Amino acid sequence: MNTSMHDSRATFPLAASPSHSSAGNAFAIPVPLDARRALARGWLWLGLLALMGSGIFSVLLVLARTPGVNQIFPGADFFRIALVVHVDLSVLVWFIAIAGLLWTINGARAGLAWGWIALGLAGSGAAIMSMAAFITPGEPIMANYIPVLDSHLFITGLLVFGLAVGVLVLRALVCAPKVGLLIDGAKALRFGTNASAVATAIALLAFGWSFAVLPQSLGGKAYYEILFWGGGHALQFTWTLLMLVAWLWLGSACGARILLSPRLTILMFALALASVFVTPYAYLAYDVATVEHRNLHTWAMRLGGGIAIAPIALSLWFGLHGTVQTDETARPLRAALISSMLLFAAGGVIGALISGNNVKIPAHYHGCIVGVTLAFMGLVYHLLPQLGYSAVRGKWAIAQPYLYGAGQLMHIIGLVWSGGYGVQRKVAGTDQVLQTVAEKAGMGLMGLGGLVAIIGGLVFVVIVIGALKRRKLPAATGVASS
């Protein structure tokens, strides 16, 4: 992480922070009021558009898997094409958009033009990938981490998006603020945010390394599975680090007594970051097609992620206990934080129960990924006023994280239930071979939970767009950084 740049708080006008954030151990990064704020808004809009697009495809996904209803669709390929685009929009594009928002807020003002170039490329790449599903979808390949449609148009969109991430990460590293030795909550979050940029850079390196050494004669799912395995695992550290940043930020914003000191928090971030460097070692030590290479990435993710998550999660959970929330705008943040932690924990527990290639695997995946998504949703709620928009409040804003989280919990319980009967993953319609009442009930619960979650996601988009239309703060200009 770059240490040559000044801490951006020292030279730029900043958005007003909550009153409790003046304490040295408050976990919050002040939002700049200069041109970086406009760029951060752009990344927010990209994230919202990605969620809207993934929501459309998720409706098709749930209907394609729900017993009875799925018979109206043409077959499994319909399900798989929708699944590819849904996953890439709801995970890859949405998560990178939030990362772009946070790296923009965290970094110095230098190189803003490159930030806008990255945003333009990311939006173009996402649009091309989405259009490919309707124009030339090709064969849907359900590779882990980044599923693809094996068509020139989709691959072109993915490459454009990858170029955008490269530009974005390079700017984030060059403009990363110096943390220094005097550690407070803001500095701890800056360290975690910088660490997530490093993890993403390593992921890009891994993708490139795999592409360079893989024989082009290897095709189909085997090729893409190996291509994305190493970098995909490194990206999980990016999402985890940003989720932990969001958890601490939300906890501080809703008045939790965070029991972990800023210095210990940095230590947790550092342990997670250290585990990311297992990725280049795995490439140096083993051939990318070997079981040893594959397993090393898996164990690094389990060990490094667990070490960092558990202390922070426990600190926040006990810090929330007994606190009474009277601030109306903070109640949605508390709801998002609690829902995020519970869903992520559920995903972790399910991961320990996985055996075989059945729908327990997507249950684990959905629990963890939705835990990250809920954390990002809560952070968006919190940052809206600081980005110049209206604050969210009211019953719907409080209910939305619980609605989305409850739907996803039903969804993954249905998957775990069905997985116990051996229902296979990544299939739909008659390919699911649902024979017993219990199997059908499990997948029916999955479908119902998915529909509830879709409603919760739609409510989030409606609430945020409503806030975006009610701009409260005038655009501000700041002093340029060196």
pLDDT in tens, 440-471: 666 677 778 878 888 998 999 999 999 988 77
Residue 126 in this model has a pLDDT that exceeds 50 = yes
Q: Where are the beta strands (DSSP E) in 144-227?
A: 148-150
In the block, tokens 């979808």 appear at 137
Q: What is the pLDDT of residue 437?
A: 60
Locate the domains of the chain by residue range.
325-482
Whether the predicted model's global pTM rises above the 0.75 cut: yes
Residue 75 in this model has a pLDDT that exceeds 60 = no
Residue 360 in this model has a pLDDT that exceeds 80 = no
Answer whether 142's CB lies under 8 Å from 221's CB: yes
Q: Where are the beta strands (DSSP E) in 133-210?
A: 139-141, 148-150
Answer whether 195's CB lies under 8 Å from 273's CB: yes
User: Greatest CA span in the chain, whole angstroms?
Assistant: 67
CA 423 → CA 78, 148, 374, 417, distances in Å?
A: 19, 23, 28, 9
Instruction: State whether residue 194 is helix, strand or coil.
Output: helix
Instruction: State whether residue 356 is helix, strand or coil.
Output: coil
* CA neighbor of 381 nearest in space, from 256, 469, 468: 468
Confidence of residue 70 (pLDDT cuts 50, 70, 90): low
Q: What is the pLDDT of residue 279?
A: 93
Q: Where are the beta strands (DSSP E) in 87-147?
A: 139-141
Structure tokens at 354: 């996985």
Answer whether 317's CB lies under 8 Å from 271's CB: no
Answer whether 142's CB lies under 8 Å from 80's CB: yes
- The mean per-residue pLDDT over the stretch 151-166 comes to 97
pLDDT top residue among 107 and 480: 107
Top-level class of domain 325-482: mainly alpha
Structure tokens at 139: 């064969």
pLDDT in tens, 272-315: 999 999 999 999 999 998 999 988 988 887 777 678 888 999 99
* CA neighbor of 416 nearest in space, from 369, 350, 352: 350
N-terminal to C-terminal alpha carbon distance within the chain: 18
Lowest mean pLDDT among 144-153, 420-429, 455-464: 420-429
Sign of CA dihedral 314, 315, 317, 321: positive
Residues forming beta bridges with residue 424, ordered by sequence position? 358
Q: How far apart (Å, rounded) are the C-alpha atoms in residues 222 and 239?
A: 25
Answer whether 224's CB lies under 8 Å from 137's CB: no
